[in-house]
Amino acid sequence: MGPVSKVHLPRPRLQTAATQVGEFAVGVVVAYAAVGLAWSLSHSVWALVVAALLVVIAAIAVELRFGAKATGLVAGMLPTSLMAAGLFIALTLVAYRLN
């Protein structure tokens, strides 16, 4: 067998994968809590945008500070905050339109 067959690719460890899944779950909870709190306190579109932007800024800061160690957390925070803000904005606009 040639040298290609002896190449060993690193496998992710179960502990590392579980840590990233846990970080992702925490990131999702943080994002939902921040955007949900902003919506419940104000019912304003701008408060939701500000809350989502604050979560995005926090996620970027965490990624820059901790790098690959916090990838799961950042992956949970970024898309969830934007998706939750969009969902609550749509709900707010529909409720406003129905009144």
Q: What is the mean pLDDT of residues 33-58?
A: 93
pLDDT in tens, 69-96: 899 999 999 999 999 999 999 988 898 8
The model carries a pTM of 0.79
CB count, 10 Å around CB of 79? 15
Q: What is the rounded CA–CA span in Å between residue 23 and residue 30?
A: 10
Tally helices (H) and strands (E) across the chain.
3, 0
pLDDT tens sequence across 50-74: 999 999 999 999 999 998 889 999 9
Cα 99 from Cα 64, distance rounded (Å): 44
Q: Please check the confidence at residue 39 and state whether its pLDDT lies above 70.
A: yes
- pLDDT band (50, 70, 90) for residue 18: confident
Q: Could you tell me the sign of the dihedral formed by the alpha carbons of 70, 30, 35, 72, in that order?
A: positive
CB 56 within 8 A of CB 82: yes
